[in-house]
Amino acid sequence: MATGRDIENRGHITGFKEEISKAASSSDNDFFTWFDSARDKEAAFIKGSWDFMQHIAYPSLKFLTGQEDKVALEIGHGGGRLLAAASPYFKSVIGVDIHENNQLVEDELKMRGINNFQLIKTKGSDIPVNNASIDFVYSFIVLQHVETLNIFKEYLKEAGRVLKPGGIAVIYFGRKKMLSGKTSSRALYFIDKIAERFLLLKGFHELPAKVNVTNLIISLSYAKSLAKNNGLEILADLVSYKKGQNDKIIFGGQNGLLLRRI
């Protein structure tokens, strides 16, 4: 995963746009690997498929039926790796992102035989589609990088607005990890879940950080209250996973929520 050199002072939206454009101007491979830690472009799309199935599809499976006739939307599509994984399962998929390089993503997805997609440039807190027009909204490894809590709030509000009644959302965000960041221990993860309530007294923490490093962490309880305020029902708590040494599966740096539009 590429990061900026210094603590971001351009504003994270500006920082992301500039750093992503630098990667795009360097090489095709640099652009598509910028968004995660994959060794090359093909590995990025393989990892995207794993992330989509593990973190998005599997948790929502029993709540989302008839998806072949449904429209899905990704907040922060990056290089399109999760969109590529989602596209076979939905009538159409929409990606929104702040960067200026959607043509690269469009060309790559079409080269892979994917045509049921639309890419939309966003200002960084909006989802420019019609009210109640989307069946499924998801976001992964994105909202931990938004500049302020207010932007996270705006995206939750927008998710509630664009979802149809009964529509499903899977939203991940940065978590407070002390003991469970490099382990598969459920007990240590549970301790971290309890501890965050006391360590995040306001419910969140905005962190000075380099671009593409976690700069917003939110407690599960606070994220749940924000979701409920936007007409979203809590269906389940989620947590991210990643591959550690020797491909051992360990806890990642995000908590998540499985939500339904009331």
pTM: 0.96
Q: What is the mean pLDDT of the chain?
A: 95
Over the stretch 92-150, which tens digit does the pLDDT of each residue have?
A: 999 999 999 999 999 999 999 999 999 999 999 999 999 999 999 999 999 999 989 99
The full set of domains in the chain, from first to last, is: 12-261 (3.40.50.150)
Q: Is the pLDDT of residue 4 over 70?
A: no
**Whether 35 contacts 27, CB under 8 Å:** no
- Count CB-CB contacts under 10 A for residue 40: 11
The CA distance from 217 to 181, in Å, is: 14
pLDDT tier, 67 (very low <50, low <70, confident <90, very high otherwise): confident
Q: Helices then strands (H, E): number in the chain?
A: 9, 9
The CA distance from 24 to 21, in Å, is: 5
Q: Is the pLDDT of residue 2 over 70?
A: no
Q: Is the pLDDT of residue 43 over 90?
A: yes
Q: Provide the pLDDT for residue 150.
A: 97
| % residues pLDDT > 70 (the chain) | 98
Over the stretch 212-233, which tens digit does the pLDDT of each residue have?
A: 999 999 999 999 999 999 999 9
Phi and psi at residue 9, to the nearest 5°: -125, 5
| % residues pLDDT > 90 (the chain) | 89
Q: Which residues of 218-243 are buried (b: 16+ CB within 10 A; e: fewer)?
A: bbbebbbebbeebbbeebeebbbbbe
Q: Which residue intervals of 34-86 are DSSP H helices?
A: 41-51, 58-60, 81-86
Over the stretch 152-189, which tens digit does the pLDDT of each residue have?
A: 999 999 999 999 999 999 999 999 999 998 899 999 99
Q: Provide the pLDDT for residue 246.
A: 83
Q: Is the pLDDT of residue 1 over 60?
A: no
Q: Provide the pLDDT for residue 198.
A: 94
